[in-house]
A and B are shown apart, each in its own frame.
Chain A
Amino acid sequence: MAGSTDASSAGWGRRVAYLGPDPGLYTWMTPTEALCLAGGLLDLPADETARRASRVLAWTGISLAAAAAPLSRGGAPLQQRTGLAAALIGDPEVLLLDEPLRALDEGERSRMLKLPDRRRTVLLASRHPASEAGHVEQVAYLRGGRVRLIAPIAALERAELPLSHRGIVALAEMEAALSVAPGAATA
């Protein structure tokens, strides 16, 4: 990944984190146990893991009582909150989010996607781009495994296109037409 084949915590393991639509946590674990496991896998010292765990638990809105109960009791919302907390515990430079936090209500989801602390690159994959308004600065369009478009949100606004799948596809087609016929674009 990113030119590195070292997946250990010394390589890209701590620099890149991923959260998918299904957080992939063992539901018999408590959120605290899941975070300790994530911290341990990233080779964080125990005291540092505990310090970071309390911080990300607070950010993701997991109460002390919920943090001590099995994930299965809290259902999908608690599992997704814990998944985000586990992704953040390593303080990654790059965060890959694939349809994240869909089980949360829109307000809570928006608050949590405005990620805390340091500046980091967040790549958010979504089939509902309209719901990501306010979280993203750029849009990218992938088709057939290739990137067809990378453009700032302002490009959509300039073209008076909505932040939607249709709008992004239309912008990609416009950009492709411009790149094929630059003369026509300047005319």
Chain B
Amino acid sequence: MLVCRLALRELWISFRLLLLLAVYVAAGTVAAVVPAPLPTTLFRLAVGLAAAGVTAAVIAAWSLSRERALGRAAWLATHSIPRATILIGWFVPLAAVSVLGLLAAGSLGWLATSASSARPGALAFAATVASIATLVMALLALGLLVGALVRAPAAALVTALACALIVAVPWAAVPPVTLPIEALARLPELAAPTSLAVQGAGAGLLATAVLLIVARGALGRVDL
């Protein structure tokens, strides 16, 4: 809890928290304010949320690698704070801010779809946004893993490339692999969007857990 508070204050003072929230809100605002047919609105919202997720992961990688470079992680470790706590202490506030941002962006996106007669069901829309939240958590965990291994600014660059690939490649794949973000863009076409979202959420949570465990192992072996 102490590391969470320190991380949250560090994010606030360095404007990283505001930047993250702003990217999510901007994604929702573009979808809500710029008039377009429903598929275009959903596509814009999906692209915006993908950009926000990549930004969140880059901030995670940058933050953890900076904590190591500035000796703060080492200072906490020499004051009886386990390395796993340092990792979770950064994951929790970043995930919480991302969920808040997704709530705002999702609400704006839902408002943007209200004009269309082909509007998706509320449950399907909410479930898809929730599954995107789990994908963002997995990207955050990946960012923390890179931040545990690579020094900034290379950590930010590697994370940006890796996350952009994760988000973009399934989109371009043939046959298509339906990640939650792609599912949002194709929501009106999907036969069973809610069950697909639940599957996506499960996969996202599993990926998050695996990546956090790997990141914990990596952070335990590197010099802080």
User: Are A and B genuine complex partners?
Assistant: yes
The majority secondary structure among interface residues of chain B is helix
Shortest C-beta distance, B84 to chain A (Å), equals: 12
Please, which residues of chain B bring their CB within 8 A of the CB of A13? 79-80
Q: Which of B13, B72, B73, B80 contacts A9 (CB 8 A)?
A: B80
Q: Does B82 contact A (CB under 8 A)?
A: yes
- Cβ-defined contact, B72 with A25, below 8 A: yes
Shortest C-beta distance, A157 to chain B (Å), equals: 34
Give CA–CA (A37, B79) in the complex, Å: 10
Give CA–CA (A38, B73) in the complex, Å: 14
- Cβ-defined contact, A41 with B81, below 8 A: yes
Shortest C-beta distance, A28 to chain B (Å), equals: 5
Q: Which of B6, B74, B78, B79 contacts A26 (CB 8 A)?
A: B6
Q: How many residues of A contact B (CB 8 A)?
A: 20
Q: Does A142 contact B (CB under 8 A)?
A: no
The majority secondary structure among interface residues of chain A is loop
Q: Which of B9, B13, B74, B82 contacts A24 (CB 8 A)?
A: B74
Give CA–CA (A7, B81) in the complex, Å: 8
Give CA–CA (A177, B6) in the complex, Å: 53
Q: Does A59 contact B (CB under 8 A)?
A: no
Given contacts A26-B6, A26-B10, A28-B13, contact A20 B71 (CB under 8 A): yes
Q: Does A17 contact B (CB under 8 A)?
A: yes
Please, which residues of chain A bring their CB within 8 A of the CB of B72? 24-26
Shortest C-beta distance, A11 to chain B (Å), equals: 8
Closest A residue to B12 using CB positions: A28
Closest A residue to B78 using CB positions: A18
- Cβ-defined contact, B71 with A24, below 8 A: yes
Give CA–CA (A16, B10) in the complex, Å: 27
List 9 A-B pairs, Cβ < 8 Å: A9-B80, A16-B78, A18-B78, A24-B70, A24-B75, A28-B10, A41-B2, A41-B79, A41-B80
